[in-house]
Amino acid sequence: MDIDNIIEQYFRSGFTNLEILRVLEETHNVKLSLRTLERRLQKKRLWRRKNKTDVAEVASFIEEQLQGSGRQHGYRWMHQKCWMAGIVTDRETVRLLMRLLDPNGVDLRAQNRLRRRLYVSQVPNYVWHIEEND
């Protein structure tokens, strides 16, 4: 595999530039300077802050996540989920969209009073749920 493709793979996985350099050196025996890595990323048009995804698409993704387990997550975790899904946006946009889409959930998270899961089971003790937070 070409080293530029490996760099792109690590970049899209959310690694920082310093983490990419360390993994390249330890795993692939390739030693690059930070500036060389930045030049290669720029050549492949990989930027962290440019070319942001449309706000409507970000809102759609967040709304979809809020329907599932994402309603328990804060804006930082949701920003990470956006990044891992290939959606480029900033944390402030995610925070504002979450405030618009789920104001009640944001208020509950701010008070550290999250909604607990409700289970319907056939008999008592049929379903057990263990979390590290409970």
pTM above 0.85, yes or no: no
Output the six-digit token pair for 126.
């049929």
Which residue intervals of the chain are DSSP H helices? 3-12, 17-28, 34-43, 55-67, 75-84, 91-101, 103-110
Mean pLDDT taken over the chain: 84
Q: Which pLDDT score is estimated for 110? A: 73
Output the six-digit token pair for 83.
């990044």
In order of 34, 69, 80, the CA distances from 22 in angstroms are: 10, 33, 21
User: Helices 75-84 & 55-67, crossing angle to 10 degrees?
Assistant: 110
Q: Where are the domains of the chain?
A: 3-43, 55-110
Interval 24-78: pLDDT, tens: 999 999 999 999 999 999 898 887 777 778 889 999 999 998 887 777 788 888 9
